[in-house]
A and B are shown apart, each in its own frame.
Chain A
């Protein structure tokens, strides 16, 4: 999305009798509402958009149009490099220190950061096994499984219903996150809360890996109904790849039968042992501190430009 915004900046030209700040902000807002219509924004996207609008608003009037565009372009570039790509590198470095020889790790769904961690640890020569836990209807774990096997990591694949069966073998659980709220609640793919809960019951440490730009000052208690996203209900009734499971064919229009396809759920902070971010390895209680510092950093950066 940010790269799309970079293109917008490049192609932009200020209409006459209007200032760059206000007009571009309005344009960006209209693009954002288009994106929202396609699919509700994730929290990290919301943070990135706020950053871009912040930078546009802080542009001094004295700059010419091309200079302003170049400055915005480089700001977005820096955000991408530092907060997203750079953050991933730092997280991977922190997390591989937590993986020891003989470890049995468990991961849920498919997270890019977790995949990078596992691949890097394998390249460093550590000996470990991975349980890849998957769930319906997206079955994203299959993609992660394929990529890990190709890199030479020994994997075991299972469905989320079987986690009580395998959890006694597991030494650590690594989870990715879509966002972390200020009260330490981790907002992630539906099913993450189940995995963290069962891990907690079996006394297995749960480590969440999340870049700092995904943190949010919102607090959330309710785990499902407030601010969740609903997926396609037909994805539940039809089982892709298993044509013998067709019990619910022809019943999708029945008034008595409904399908609920949640996309996200919230894991309470007491199930999480540690959050690994680009600011270091912190307990879930330190998240509001990082949110505060992170916002302050925004303000410090902007103050550098105003001479």
Chain B
């Protein structure tokens, strides 16, 4: 068998401490300290047929266990993130938020539970108007809320102590995919040296690197949210002398890592430059298609 160098031994040790990667599970190799890349279909295929049924059962068990773990993580991440709220939100602060994220809602309510009094500005997040939803929830929980239009974000940023948003996904370089309009808020926050905090459960980490994030990682929604079809039907007729009309309605926005001050995940607060290590924790190197 191949001589094992120090690096290979370290890789093998890492793989035993972690749950099995999907590739090793599907190849059917039993867990051992061998190098993951040795071919499995060679010598032990004969012995495999004998205990194939027990292997299948083990495989199913492992996969179900993995999925259960993931479900628990998703359900529990809100509390763990909200526990850290008290360190970051102080008395008489003004917080700006965008869109509607349950993590942000729990975060702010946890700070309120600990008797910190603060105000929240919510940008309405047209054209989905998720800010309205969040404002309704916040008011129901007793927080002082003000709804502002997205265009007023730059005007109000000088009056704000902190910007907190929830992420849709966190990329391998520490960049954030968030609701549309967060890049505008992040740029304004940088100009006024306001901390820009992103809340993300660890299940939101993504091992991909965003090469052209505006286009590739985005989703375009129906233009009817912006323009009523009936109202503009006379403009949609591409007759002679009339210009063409297009409508752009993206769902997500990309924020580069240099604009983010802090990530708060269920494992604690991190720098954007650290996020790639967390990805190594949750994804095995074999599973990543690079």
Contact = CB atoms under 8 A, between A and B. Distances in A.
Contacts of B133: 247
Contacts of B129: 239, 242, 245, 247
Nearest to A130: B243
Contact of B145 (A154, A223, A257, A265): A257
Contacts of B37: none
A222 B151 CA distance: 16
A160 B55 CA distance: 56
A285 B111 CA distance: 46
A154 B244 contact: yes
B132 interface: yes
B124 A156 contact: no
Contacts of B225: 242
Contacts, number: 183
Interface in A130-178: 134-137, 142, 145-146, 148-166, 168
Nearest to A134: B226
A136 B225 CA distance: 13
B149 A135 contact: yes
B25 interface: no
A4 B237 CA distance: 41
Do most interface residues of chain A lie in helix, strand or loop, or is the interface mixed? Answer: mixed
Contacts of B158: 222-224
A194 B184 contact: yes
Given A156-B246, A248-B132, A161 B181 contact: yes
Contacts of B143: 256
Interface string B142-184: 1111111111111110110000000000000000000011011
B248 A165 contact: yes
A145 B245 contact: yes
Contact of B126 (A155, A161, A222): A161
Nearest to A265: B155
Do most interface residues of chain B lie in helix, strand or loop, or is the interface mixed? Answer: mixed
Nearest to A250: B136
Contacts of B132: 237, 245, 247-248
Contact of A161 (B125, B142, B241): B125
Classify chain A: how many residues form its interface, as a range. 35 or more
B153 A136 contact: no
B218 interface: yes
B190 to A, nearest CB: 9
B139 A149 contact: no
B183 A164 contact: yes
B266 interface: no
Contact of B187 (A160, A198, A256): A198
B242 interface: yes
Contacts of B149: 135-137, 190-191, 236, 261-262
A150 B244 CA distance: 10
Interface string A110-144: 00000000000000000000000011110000100
Contact of B214 (A137, A168, A198): A168
Nearest to B254: A164
A43 interface: no
A156 B155 CA distance: 26
Interface in A219-278: 222-225, 228, 236-237, 239, 241-242, 245, 247-248, 251, 254, 256-262, 265-266
Nearest to B232: A146
A164 B214 contact: yes
A198 B183 contact: yes
A224 B249 contact: no
A138 B244 CA distance: 24
Contacts of B249: 158-159, 162
A152 B247 contact: no
A193 interface: yes
B214 A165 contact: yes
B279 interface: no
A135 B155 CA distance: 14
A157 B250 CA distance: 12
Given A164-B253, A190-B155, A194-B151, A258 B146 contact: yes
B248 A158 contact: yes
Contacts of A242: 129, 225
A251 B134 CA distance: 13
Contacts of A239: 129
A201 interface: yes
Contacts of B142: 256
Most chain A CB within a 10 A radius of its CB, from B143, B145, B246, B248? B248
Given A149-B242, A160-B151, A258-B146, A198 B184 contact: yes
A163 B247 CA distance: 13
Given A159-B249, A161-B125, A161-B126, 12 more contacts: A137-B149, A146-B235, A154-B246, A156-B247, A157-B248, A162-B248, A191-B149, A197-B188, A242-B225, A254-B139, A260-B156, A262-B149
Those 3 A-B pairs whose CB atoms lie nearest each other, nearest first? A191-B151, A161-B181, A224-B155
22 contacts: A142-B231, A154-B246, A156-B245, A157-B246, A160-B184, A161-B125, A161-B150, A164-B184, A165-B248, A194-B184, A197-B191, A224-B155, A224-B156, A228-B155, A236-B124, A247-B136, A254-B139, A258-B145, A258-B147, A262-B152, A265-B152, A266-B155
Interface of B: 121, 124-127, 129, 132-133, 135-136, 139, 142-156, 158-159, 180-181, 183-184, 187-188, 191, 214, 218, 223, 225-228, 231-232, 235, 241-250, 253-254
